[in-house]
Amino acid sequence: MLEVAGVHRRFGSREVLGGVSLEVPAGRITLVVGSNGCGKSTLARLSVGLLKPSKGSVRVGGEDPRVVGTVRRGIGFVGHQSLLYADLTAEENLAFTARLYGVSPAAGIELLDRLDVGPERKVAVRTLSRGMMQRVALARALVADPGLLVLDEPLTGLDAPSAERLVAMVGDRAAAGAAVLMVSHELHEVWRLEARVAVLHGGRIAHTSSTAEPLERFRTTYGGLLRG
């Protein structure tokens, strides 16, 4: 579904990614972990077409999402920011997203129900808590039932029950056949997913593992890698 091949990305003179290759097949979850500033968010944004690779290619379903607009219909993205209009309500935001994607606004309402966004759906999203806003952001990303879901630090700032609910929903999406690329620091939370794990370090995928490996053992390897 998602193929990242030999991707380099520079910001000015600084090379953030130096030849990253990654595949996320349909129905599978890939977790990307790494230290702050190692390029995880850059990789997530390249994967959805918000950034252009300096070298290499990104393909979603065999097409470049920056070039082929219809490919973007099948991509859901949750970033550091909510991508929501602060002065609109959750319902209005989702209705607008649904119109952009040419799907029924009812799809958005149904997602708000599934994510337990209650009466808060009727107030401007700028007044929502971080956790509630994150649920609405996830609903926005899922409104067109995407085949590729890219989540950049989706658990940051969430309380334990909210994080648990979000992780469960991600697992459900993968079980339903979506390819999921998830960037996260919250290893304890995401380790319950059945996923491949890629450690990004020094601008490259320095280590791969899976959540089948005991978390403590992975932490030891991971820590050693970051130290150097």
Partner 1 sequence: MAELLRVVLAIAAKDARVELRSRTSLLSALAFAGLVLVIFNFARDATAVSAATIGPSALWVTVAFAGTIALNRSFAMEERNAAIEQLLLAPVSRGAIFLGKYLGNLAFVLVVEAVALPLFVIFFNLPLGGAIGAIMALLLLATVGFVAVGTLFASFSVRTRFADLVLPVLLLPFLLPPVLVGVQATGRLLAGRPPGEIVGWFRFLAFYDVAFVVTALLLFPSVVDE
Q: Cβ(105)–Cβ(99) under 8 Å? A: yes
116 is a contact residue toward partner 1 (CB under 8 A): no
59 is a contact residue toward partner 1 (CB under 8 A): no
User: How many residues line the site for partner 1 (CB under 8 A)?
Assistant: 33
Which residues 153-192 are close enough to bind partner 1 by CB under 8 A?
A: none
Phi, psi for 116 (deg, rounded to 5): 55, 40
Segment near partner 1 (CB under 8 A), from 17-25, 32-40, 95-103, 179-187? 95-103
Nearest to 27 by CA among 168, 191, 179: 179
Segment near partner 1 (CB under 8 A), from 13-21, 55-63, 66-74, 166-174? 66-74
Phi, psi for 160 (deg, rounded to 5): -60, -45
Segment near partner 1 (CB under 8 A), from 29-37, 62-70, 106-114, 166-174? 62-70
- State how far the Cα of 223 lies from the Cα of 31, in Å rounded to an integer: 16
Q: CA dist 78 to 88, 111, 204, Å?
A: 18, 15, 23
Q: Tell me whether residue 220 is exposed, middle or buried, using C-beta atoms within 10 angstroms of its C-beta: 0 to 12, 13 to 18, 19 or more.
A: exposed
Segment near partner 1 (CB under 8 A), from 86-94, 180-188, 198-206, 219-227? 86-94
3-state secondary structure of 143: coil
3-state secondary structure of 211: coil
Among 14, 62, 81, 227, binds partner 1 (CB under 8 A): 81
Among 12, 102, 119, 228, binds partner 1 (CB under 8 A): 102
Binding site for partner 1 (CB under 8 A): 48-52, 66, 69-73, 75, 77, 79-88, 92, 96-97, 99-102, 124-125, 140
